[in-house]
Chains A and B, each alone.
Chain A
Amino acid sequence: MDFHLSDEQAMLKESLSGWLERNYGFDQWRKLTRRRPPQSAENWDSFAAMGWLRLSLPEEAGGMGLGALEETNIGEAFGSRLVVEPYLSAIVLSAGLVARAGTPAQRSAMLPAIGDGQLRIAFAFAEAESRFELSRIQTRAMRTEAGYALSGRKILVLDAPGADRIMVLARTAGEISAEAGLGLFIVDPASQGASMHPYTTVDDRQAADIIFDRVIAEEALGDPEAAYPAVAAATDRALVYLCAEGVGAMGALCEQTLAYVKIRKQFGQPIGDFQVIQHRIVDMRVQLECARALTLYAASVSDGEPVERARAASAAKAQVGRSARFVGRAAVQLHGGIGMTDELAVGHYFKRLLMVETMLGDIDFHQKRFASLPSELA
């Protein structure tokens, strides 16, 4: 057992914090989120130049072949600065799916372009009636002479506005909740029959609902009837990344709140001198440390055996969700009125944590999933 950071991790952490320090202050974030879409192509190019986009891509596709532990370093750093660029959707999810489900030809065609920042794919999986269940998919993919024709409706496709391609999870066979019979399809968002309804998310990012009406896909990624294991693996990895974002955001909130209670005076003294405030600060930190411990654990087993991987990912996500609620609410509460203004960063971290808590399954969902998997304490 060894908790030391590897040399790669130490260098990565340093380059992340240096770049973010220079380019991602709260004022810069504010300017960025006023753009439509609220992202910066220059930042994405910088991420590519720093090597962050190809970090976890396989080496034969020009990637660095690093794992979930390094991805959590990125997630934590990005969460701590509310980074809005589409790392989760384009890299962790879409590139992760190409790497896991794609044929060798597809991997070598797409991954280098993704790693260079030239190709951005958004992942369309959620449907209005699926809630958080990844296999409950009604969107159909019918084989036609022109290729697979997709029909259905996807919601909350994160970073779809501005994406070069959409990757659609659709059913080629089987009952609505069956894991078998699911495929991944690459679609040009400008295709005939695709209509996108973009909107802003609660945390000032961009997403869209997309209606597919017999849209002809460019290609199926790998086996069009057996994509589920890759989807499960990629989303488990994405859960770990989201958890790391949550840990980063919670860490920032703990710091900002502690700094504030030390300077905010009421009744002639800093409110941080009151024991009730001190204990709340402690409880926030305890929640952060619980979230950090399980995130690290989930990262460490995310390339391992699928049941342990899934259990750890769900445990971490449930814990991070609970911690995020506590830390987010306490941060706003301890800031008082100013904490709920748009002007201060605190409220924006609060909203980012809400995204983290809900994306890819909320506390209840992951607690139930955790409970459904075999336990050594049965």
Chain B
Amino acid sequence: MDLSLSAEDRAFREEVRAFFRKHLPADIAEKARRSFHLHPEDMLRWQRILHAKGWAAPAWPKQYGGPGWTALQRYIFDEELCMADAPLPLMAGQGVNMVGPVIYTFGSEEQKAQYLPRILSGEDYWCQGFSEPGSGSDLASLKTRAVADGNDYVINGQKIWTSLAHNSNMIYCLVRTDPTVKPQQGISMLVFPMDTPGITVRPIISIDRGHSLNETFFEDVRVPRSSLIGEEGRGWTYAKFLLGHERFTIAEIARSKRRLQRLRQIARATAVGDATLADDPSFRDKAAAIEIDLLALERMGLRIAWEMDQGIDNMLSASILKLRGSQIIQAVTELSVEAMGYAGLAYESLPDGLSHSPSAPDIAQGKMEEFLFLRAATIYGGSTETQQNILAKMIYAGA
């Protein structure tokens, strides 16, 4: 047993850090610091820089244009991304971390050749059509219908919470192809362009007043049968595979570490009488409590990364990671807003979509927006209560 990073892993960290220091544009880092809702042009610019280096899709195997890193290297890469305030690949639409792995694992050779290079280059920008108004945690009850008609499918229905649909040119979508079998077995996954006739996207403004969420409507949308990923009726399996992939990244361990650092900077910039909030024992205790939680999460994350490299599939830990990770995201963003006091309450939206806290120090810009938007952290990707249900099933079965 040796729980420290090897010399190779430490050298890898230095390499990544040096690259970001040299190549991450300062204006992009500044925007990523200030807001969630980045412009697609900025994302694309960053994606191209990573792509030129061969780092656009950290989790992909070499044969599909990824760097072929170990899970531990990906973990280190992610940490350096966060510490440099770089946008995460996750924010570059859902191509890299979501649909890409589904396509190279279950897609046809034609689909791989057609889509994977365009995900890497940033030419295609993907969104996800999973949730529906009546199908949130009970995703398998989804009703959007795809009916085979000659060489096509005809799609009718509605998706909701389609993040970045308004910036996306491609969608991967769960649809019901067979209403006569068990709900999970009648679902298929289709991929198609967003400019296909019959698709309407309507914005949903979230409580931070930002726009990243949408409703997407499908009215007699006709797509070729070659849009099907894998086999008909196996969409649920592919979705579970994808969400399993996601659970590791959406715990946001490294991003929470960065947020905690920022929180302490805000506290130092916040005067309380002759001292600062950073000197307040109660604040220090609260921040320390979060840091301890985060340290435990980090040790679990490293263990999962190691297990992935050993070929051990630890679903229990992955669910715990998502559950705790999202709670810690909320704890640190809550304390950030608490630290701002009155300055947090002044909150404006600028014409470019960014938020602005006029009476807050520069270091605290974007914090109220983040706090508000990240109420979603315990809802998306399988809500806390859904994770508890999944975990209960595993624990009752002896995990």
A interface list, Cβ under 8 A from B: 1-6, 9, 69, 258, 262, 272, 275, 278-279, 281-283, 285-286, 289-291, 293-294, 296-297, 300-301, 315, 318-319, 364, 367-368, 370-371, 375, 377-378
Structural contact, B3 and A319, CB atoms closer than 8 A:
no
A9–B292 Cα gap in the complex (Å)? 27
CB of B19, distance to nearest CB on chain A (Å)? 21
Residues of B within 8 A of A285 (CB): 320, 391, 395
Structural contact, B292 and A318, CB atoms closer than 8 A:
yes
Structural contact, B2 and A293, CB atoms closer than 8 A:
no
Structural contact, A4 and B1, CB atoms closer than 8 A:
yes
| 18 more A-B residue pairs beyond the given contacts A3-B3, A286-B323, A371-B284, with a C-beta to C-beta distance below 8 A | A1-B4, A1-B6, A1-B72, A2-B2, A278-B388, A281-B395, A282-B392, A283-B388, A286-B391, A290-B293, A293-B296, A296-B299, A297-B295, A300-B3, A315-B296, A319-B292, A371-B285, A377-B291
Contact of A275 with B389 at beta-carbon distance under 8 Å, contacts A371-B285, A377-B291 already known: yes
Structural contact, A367 and B285, CB atoms closer than 8 A:
yes
Residues of B within 8 A of A282 (CB): 388, 391-392, 395
Q: When the two chains form the complex, which single residue of A2, A286, A315, A371 contacts B295, counting CB atoms closer than 8 Å?
A: A315
The CB with the most chain A CB atoms within 10 A, among B285, B299, B392, is that of: B299
Structural contact, A1 and B288, CB atoms closer than 8 A:
no
Query: 28 A-B contacts, Cβ less than 8 Å apart?
Result: A1-B3, A1-B4, A1-B306, A2-B1, A9-B1, A258-B396, A262-B396, A275-B389, A275-B392, A278-B389, A279-B385, A282-B395, A283-B388, A285-B395, A286-B323, A289-B320, A290-B296, A290-B324, A293-B300, A293-B303, A300-B2, A318-B289, A318-B292, A319-B293, A319-B296, A370-B292, A371-B288, A378-B261
Residues of B within 8 A of A364 (CB): 285
- Judged by a CB distance under 8 angstroms, whether B264 is at the interface is yes
Residues of A within 8 A of B288 (CB): 367-368, 370-371
CB of B265, distance to nearest CB on chain A (Å)? 9
- Residue pairs across A and B with CB atoms within 8 Å: the count is 111
B:303-320 near A, CB below 8 Å: 303, 306-307, 317, 320
Q: When the two chains form the complex, which single residue of B3, B284, B392 contacts A297, counting CB atoms closer than 8 Å?
A: B3
Structural contact, A1 and B9, CB atoms closer than 8 A:
yes
A281–B388 Cα gap in the complex (Å)? 9
CB of B396, distance to nearest CB on chain A (Å)? 7
Residues of A within 8 A of B285 (CB): 364, 367-368, 371
Structural contact, A286 and B324, CB atoms closer than 8 A:
yes
CB of B351, distance to nearest CB on chain A (Å)? 35
Residues of B within 8 A of A368 (CB): 285, 288
Residues of A within 8 A of B293 (CB): 290, 319
CB of B160, distance to nearest CB on chain A (Å)? 25
Contact of A378 with B264 at beta-carbon distance under 8 Å, contacts A2-B1, A275-B389 already known: yes
A6–B3 Cα gap in the complex (Å)? 12
- Judged by a CB distance under 8 angstroms, whether B302 is at the interface is yes
A156–B306 Cα gap in the complex (Å)? 42
CB of B290, distance to nearest CB on chain A (Å)? 10
Structural contact, A371 and B287, CB atoms closer than 8 A:
yes
Q: When the two chains form the complex, which single residue of B257, B317, B389, B396 contacts A377, counting CB atoms closer than 8 Å?
A: B257
The CB with the most chain B CB atoms within 10 A, among A278, A368, A370, A377, is that of: A377
Shortest Cβ distance from B295 into A: residue: A315
A275–B137 Cα gap in the complex (Å)? 15
B interface list, Cβ under 8 A from A: 1-6, 9, 72, 257, 260-261, 264, 284-285, 287-289, 291-293, 295-297, 299-300, 302-303, 306-307, 317, 320, 323-324, 385, 388-389, 391-392, 395-396
Residues of B within 8 A of A6 (CB): 1
Residues of A within 8 A of B6 (CB): 1
A69–B3 Cα gap in the complex (Å)? 11
A272–B396 Cα gap in the complex (Å)? 9
Shortest Cβ distance from B262 into A: residue: A377
- Tell me whether chain B's interface is mostly helix, strand or loop, or mixed: helix
A297–B261 Cα gap in the complex (Å)? 21
Structural contact, B317 and A258, CB atoms closer than 8 A:
no
Structural contact, A294 and B299, CB atoms closer than 8 A:
yes
CB of B296, distance to nearest CB on chain A (Å)? 4
The CB with the most chain A CB atoms within 10 A, among B261, B291, B317, is that of: B291
A319–B306 Cα gap in the complex (Å)? 23
Residues of A within 8 A of B261 (CB): 377-378
Q: Which 9 A-B pairs have the closest CB atoms?
A: A371-B288, A278-B392, A300-B3, A293-B299, A290-B296, A282-B391, A279-B388, A297-B299, A293-B300
CB of A253, distance to nearest CB on chain B (Å)? 14
A262–B395 Cα gap in the complex (Å)? 12
Structural contact, A300 and B389, CB atoms closer than 8 A:
no
A370–B286 Cα gap in the complex (Å)? 12
A315–B291 Cα gap in the complex (Å)? 9
A46–B42 Cα gap in the complex (Å)? 68
Residues of A within 8 A of B4 (CB): 1, 300
A278–B396 Cα gap in the complex (Å)? 9
A375–B317 Cα gap in the complex (Å)? 26
Contact of A367 with B1 at beta-carbon distance under 8 Å, contacts A1-B9, A281-B392, A293-B303 already known: no
A169–B1 Cα gap in the complex (Å)? 35
Residues of A within 8 A of B289 (CB): 318, 367
CB of B394, distance to nearest CB on chain A (Å)? 9
Structural contact, B2 and A289, CB atoms closer than 8 A:
no
Residues of A within 8 A of B291 (CB): 315, 370, 375, 377
Residues of A within 8 A of B299 (CB): 293-294, 296-297
Residues of A within 8 A of B395 (CB): 258, 281-282, 285
CB of A235, distance to nearest CB on chain B (Å)? 19
Residues of A within 8 A of B3 (CB): 1-3, 296-297, 300-301
CB of A166, distance to nearest CB on chain B (Å)? 34
A151–B292 Cα gap in the complex (Å)? 39
A367–B281 Cα gap in the complex (Å)? 11
Residues of B within 8 A of A300 (CB): 1-4
Residues of A within 8 A of B1 (CB): 2-6, 9, 69, 300
Shortest Cβ distance from B307 into A: residue: A3
A281–B261 Cα gap in the complex (Å)? 33
CB of B399, distance to nearest CB on chain A (Å)? 9
A272–B284 Cα gap in the complex (Å)? 39
